[in-house]
Amino acid sequence: MKMRFLCLISLALLVKSSFAYTILVPQEHWFAIANQLDQDGNTLDEILPDVPANTVLCKWDCATQDFGPLYKFSALTLRWNPGGGTLVPGEGAFLFLNGTLPDPYPLTFTGTPHTPVLPALLPCGCGAFSLLSRQTDDVGTYENITGRLAQEGAVLKRLDPNLNEWVVYT
């Protein structure tokens, strides 16, 4: 009985462990990012609390099938405006740093490892583009991002960071 109790405590401690990872973000360039850790409500104020002033984050808008709205980090309030923006594991976004040193800028995410929920919900539905990312920190493929096999007619657009353009796969 004692051994089971100790195993449960050990498991609880493992689940509560906090992790961090850092990516290097180039200056004055839109850069694709993903949050792959859970931190409370995954609001921008929680997951990106110390980015340089005037940093801009942009998410995909399902209704317009274009990028927007824009969130801007205020130097005055040290918060994201408008408030309430989130970046949960599985979502993607683009970040723009306005010439702050060092270049590239080390951007650190902290939190607990996310347990993937697959198949992923397509926020824009079938027949429309959705901006998704892998829910865990590893190389992403169509299958481990969506939790589905690619069907005939599926279109995948992957951003090539070296070319800074979309590569289309059908």
Residue 36 belongs to some domain of the structure: yes
pLDDT at 116 over 90: yes
Token code pair at residue 4: 């089971």
Q: Which residues span the domain enclosing 42? A: 17-116+123-141
**Rounded mean pLDDT of 74-96?**
95
Residue 23 belongs to some domain of the structure: yes
Residue 81 belongs to some domain of the structure: yes
**113: cis peptide before it, omega within 30°?**
no
Residue 9 belongs to some domain of the structure: no
Helix (H) or strand (E) holding 6: helix 2-15
**Domains: count for the chain:** 1
**pTM of the full structure:** 0.83
pLDDT at 8 over 50: no
Reported confidence tier of residue 126, pLDDT bands at 50, 70, 90: confident
Residue 24 to residue 46: CA distance in whole angstroms = 19
